[in-house]
Amino acid sequence: MDYLGNYNLWLEKATEDADLVKELKEINGNDKEIYERFYRSLQFGTAGLRGIIGAGTNRMNIYVVRQATQGMANYVLKKYGKGAVAISHDSRIKADLFMNEAARVLAANGIKVYITSELQPTPVLSYLVRYFGCQAGIMVTASHNPAAYNGYKAYGEDGCQMTDAAAGAVYDEIQKLDIFADVKTMDFDEALDKGLIEYVKDEVYTSYLDEVKKQQINPGVCKDAGLKVVYTPLNGCGNKLVRRILKDIGVEDVTIVKEQELPDGNFTTCPYPNPEIKEALRLGLETCEKVQPDLLLATDPDADRVGIAVKDYDGSYRLISGNEDGSMLTEFILSNRKKNGTLPAEPVMVKTIVTTKLVEKLCEKYNVELKNVLTGFKYIGEVILNLEKEGKEDNYVFGFEESYGYLAGSYVRDKDAVVASMLICEMAATFKKQGKTLAEVIDGLYEEFGYYKNTTLSFEFAGSEGMQKMAEIMSALRENAPSEIAGYKVLKTADYKLSVEKDLATGQEKEIKLPKSDVFQFNLEGDNMAIVRPSGTEPKIKLYLTAVGKDKDDAQVITDKLEASVKSILGI
């Protein structure tokens, strides 16, 4: 059916949501607006669904959510014969509505649903899947996207985001469905009465927090450290549990950024509620100037990531990157667990390939095995799952990615801002007792190992020719890989699409035992590095640079040289 035919069908059938009815009527006769909403369907992938809230197959609404959930129901029933699914949501617009609609569909298919009575962090959803032994999970969130968006993250039975294979199987089921005719629904209250939908009890959240507290490194360290914290949940869902865990471990002096305390899907104070972006932290930093805390914590809307700022030498506040925070946490966890005698005999750390190489130095220092995985926290979760299958789950110590996602412990299988906030405060308190600030800690690591500067650059290739141009660039890179970049000799290349790592000095090749991905990596002299990969969701090529200098200025000079050289090689 063409987009106009689809639009007319929705005019007739999509009558249950007054907002959609109004929107459909308003765009009547506006071909451009109709086309934008109906020229395609939102695709269900490993991140589930994500799109602008509104009417049409290319928008997030109750009908698209129902269709996706019917596809998931069919997948669960085919694979398991029966099943249970946990569902939660964050502070996004219509998030609670979409959660309830998904629950109605699952219940109508005879699948038991465990549902939260209020918004909860994404890691809690991962925990619920594991706690109740569910076959799948759904988190209604668009993470750190602008307010106009909502989404639907899908989880597998291990509490990790669905694998490519599982998401593909769900997508295949969705493709078979007519969005109106083939979706089963059940009255919500009737499903509650029949026990097909059940609200999660408070003691389950307490058990989650108990698991978080088990990850403490120095229990009790915060109680007399005099740690002073400013916290902002960025109008998301971290407020209750982050504040509760900080209180439980003894952090009493917590100032909340009032304008961002309560859930608000409009995100009026931070249009891009992403702790990676300085503007999102503006109110938090202003509060710091007044309160003068030791550090600022900022969790994103679904509370799976946390950004920080720390007091600098001159009394101002320094933003700490995800790589820096992860490196400090790695040093803190490994050094203290070794000292406390709680480090396992065969400890395992995990990071993504685009995350700082400084972690490699720390793992060498403490004789810890480091596993590098592809970008995406599900791959870190997969490492934990494999350790679990081998009976070595406790060997997992810590994992993180450069975009502010951290996890200690295996009680969930996704990044967790609640446990990360707790560990950051423990770390700050431990060093405060030693007379050190976190600014001094990260600078100390740079003095010990060199200044590791990580830079991410994006280059857009818009229009119909964009994807073709990106493919040509990657193909040319593989066929004519340079032997040096910016005067630094290429020691090794890693082609994740062909699963081959090559030592250029010996010509020796080694298999990369990771899922295939269109990524090409150059390991250079001086521990410098360049990684090139096309974005999987946007018409962009991303360039990840690692420059290792004697100090910050030296690292910047190397970064500039690497950037110019790689851009020349790529013809950008």
* Catalytic residue list contains 421: no
Kind of pairing between the strands at 540-549 and 529-534 = antiparallel
Cβ count within 10 A of residue 149: 18
In angstroms, how far is CA 122 from the centroid of its own chain? 9
The two tokens of residue 325 are: 């925070």
Kind of pairing between the strands at 451-460 and 540-549 = antiparallel
Give 125's Cβ-side CA count (13 Å radius).
Answer: 34
Q: What is the DSSP string of 438-470?
A: HHHHHHHHHHHH-EEEEEEEEEE--STTHHHHH
**The total number of residues written for the chain in this structure:** 572
Cα pseudo-dihedral 401, 148, 136, 81, rounded to 10: -150
Cα 75 to Cα 211: distance, rounded to the nearest angstrom: 31
Cβ count within 10 A of residue 483: 9
Using alpha carbons, list the distances in angstroms from residue 376 to 98, 127, 168. Answer: 25, 18, 17
The two tokens of residue 48 are: 């589930």
Amino acid at 135: Q
Strand partners of residue 453: 547
Cα 226 to Cα 421: distance, rounded to the nearest angstrom: 17
Q: Write 529-538 long-range contacts (CB < 8 A, 24+).
A: 529/357, 530/485, 530/562, 530/566, 531/353, 531/354, 532/474, 532/477, 532/566, 532/570, 533/375, 534/470, 534/471, 534/474, 535/458, 538/460
Amino acid at 85: V
Instruction: Give the H/E segment covering residue 489.
Output: strand 488-495
In angstroms, how far is CA 221 from the centroid of its own chain? 29
| Given the residues 41, 88, 91, 143, the one annotated as active site | 143
In angstroms, how far is CA 180 from the centroid of its own chain? 32
**φ/ψ bin of 251: left (φ > 0), alpha (ψ from -120 to 50), beta (otherwise):** beta
Cα 346 to Cα 222: distance, rounded to the nearest angstrom: 29
φ, ψ for residue 520, nearest 5 deg: -130, 130
Cα 482 to Cα 475: distance, rounded to the nearest angstrom: 13
Which residues are catalytic, by number?
143
